[in-house]
C-alpha cells in the first residue's frame, strides 16, 4: 500500500506540480496523522515542508515567510485557522494561506476569504486538489499579472449573470439559506434552486466556498 502511495505521489510530481524558486509549505494541524500524510505527499512531490501541531506553535517559532505557503486546519485547539490567517494578514510578507475544513460553513468561509485566505478546501480532498491549490496560491502570490488575470476572469463570469442570478449569488455569498433568499426576493424556494444551479455553472464554482472566494476576489479594490 505504501509503495502504491509513493508511486502515485511521484506521478503527481511528474504532472508538473513544481513550485517557483524554492518555497516551503507549513502544515498546521492538530491531527498527527493528517500532518504526516501531507508531509509525505509534499516531500515525495519535491516540496519543502515543515509541520506544526498548532497555530500558536507555528507563530512562536517565527518561521521565515518569504516564498512560503501555509496549509492549516480550520478548527484546532487554541487559535483557529481563520484566526491564524487574520494574524498573518498583518504581516509584511502576506503569506498565502490555504484553509482546510471538514464542515462546509459559508459564513466562516466568507470570514476566511475576507482575511485574505488564498483557498478554502473541504475534506475529504484529493491529493491533486491540494497540490494544485498550493501551486496556484504561490503562483498568484508571486505573480501580480496572474492575480489580475484571475480577477478579470471572475468579473467576466459575473458579467454573464442575469440581474436575478446576481441577487441570488449575493444572498449565497452572504451565507443565506435558499428559503431566506426566496423570502427576500419574493419567489419560490424551488426557483431559487434553479437560479443557484445557474450561478454555480456560469461561475464555474464546484462548491459554495469556490463561489465565495471568486466573489471576494472580484470585490477587491
b/e code 167-194 from CB counts within 10 Å (16+ = b) = bbbebbbebbebeebbeeeebeeeebee
CATH topology match: 2-142 vs 148-219:
no
Q: Would you state the pLDDT for residue 48? A: 92
| Direct distance between the N- and C-terminal alpha carbons of the chain, in angstroms, rounded to an integer | 49
Which phi and psi (to 5°) does residue 138 adopt? -70, -40
Q: What is the CATH number of domain 2-142?
A: 3.40.50.2300
User: Which triple of cell numbers denotes residue 192?
Assistant: 431559487
Q: What is the pLDDT along the chain (221 residues), one digit of tens a residue?
A: 434 444 444 444 444 444 445 789 999 999 999 999 999 999 988 899 999 999 999 999 988 887 899 999 988 988 988 889 888 876 545 788 998 887 666 677 777 777 778 888 888 888 998 998 898 888 776 666 667 788 889 999 999 999 999 999 999 988 889 999 999 999 999 999 999 999 999 999 988 878 888 887 787 65
Q: Which residues contact 116 (CB under 8 A, 6 or more apart)?
A: 85, 88, 89, 94, 97
SS3 71: strand
Q: Exposed, middle or buried: residue 122 (CB in 10 Å: 0-12, 13-18, 19+)?
A: buried
Give the phi and the psi of residue 98 in degrees, each rounded to 5. -110, 125
> What count of other Cβ atoms lies within 10 Å of the Cβ of residue 23?
20
Residue 17 pLDDT: 44
Matching residue, cell 519535491: 46
Q: Which residues are within 8 A (CB) of 153 and not within 5 positions of it... i.e. 6 or more apart?
A: none
Residue 144: predicted pLDDT:
65
- Which pLDDT score, from 0 to 100, does residue 1 have? 40
Domain parsing of the chain, residue ranges: 2-142, 148-219
pTM greater than 0.95 (yes/no): no
Q: Residue 171 corresponds to which cell in the numbers above?
A: 444572498
The CA angle 29-131-64, to the nearest 5 degrees, is 60
Q: Where are the alpha helices (DSSP H) in the chain?
A: 2-14, 32-44, 55-61, 81-88, 106-114, 127-142, 144-159, 163-173, 178-185, 189-202, 208-219
Domain over 148-219 is classified CATH 1.10.10.10: yes
Amino acid at each position: 500500500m505504501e509503495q502504491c502511495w509513493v508511486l502515485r505521489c511521484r506521478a503527481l510530481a511528474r504532472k508538473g506540480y513544481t513550485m517557483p524558486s524554492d518555497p516551503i509549505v507549513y502544515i498546521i494541524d492538530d491531527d498527527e496523522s493528517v500532518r504526516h500524510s501531507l508531509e509525505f505527499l509534499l516531500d515525495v512531490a519535491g516540496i519543502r515542508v515543515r509541520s506544526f501541531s498548532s497555530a500558536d506553535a507555528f507563530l512562536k517559532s517565527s518561521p521565515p515567510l518569504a516564498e512560503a505557503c501555509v496549509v492549516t486546519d480550520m478548527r484546532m485547539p487554541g487559535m483557529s485557522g481563520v484566526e491564524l490567517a487574520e494574524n498573518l494578514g498583518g504581516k509584511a510578507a502576506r503569506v498565502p494561506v490555504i484553509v482546510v475544513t471538514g464542515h462546509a460553513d459559508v459564513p466562516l468561509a466568507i470570514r476566511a476569504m475576507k482575511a485574505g485566505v488564498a483557498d478554502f478546501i473541504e475534506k475529504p480532498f484529493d491529493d491533486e486538489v491540494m497540490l494544485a491549490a498550493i501551486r496556484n496560491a504561490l503562483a498568484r502570490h508571486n505573480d501580480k499579472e496572474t492575480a489580475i488575470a484571475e480577477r478579470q476572469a471572475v468579473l467576466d463570469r459575473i458579467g454573464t449573470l442575469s440581474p436575478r442570478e446576481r441577487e441570488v449569488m449575493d444572498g449565497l455569498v452572504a451565507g443565506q439559506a435558499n428559503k431566506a433568499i426566496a423570502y427576500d426576493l419574493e419567489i419560490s424556494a424551488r426557483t431559487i434552486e434553479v437560479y443557484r444551479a445557474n450561478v454555480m455553472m456560469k461561475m464555474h464554482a464546484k462548491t459554495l466556498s469556490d463561489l465565495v472566494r471568486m466573489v471576494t476576489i472580484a470585490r477587491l479594490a
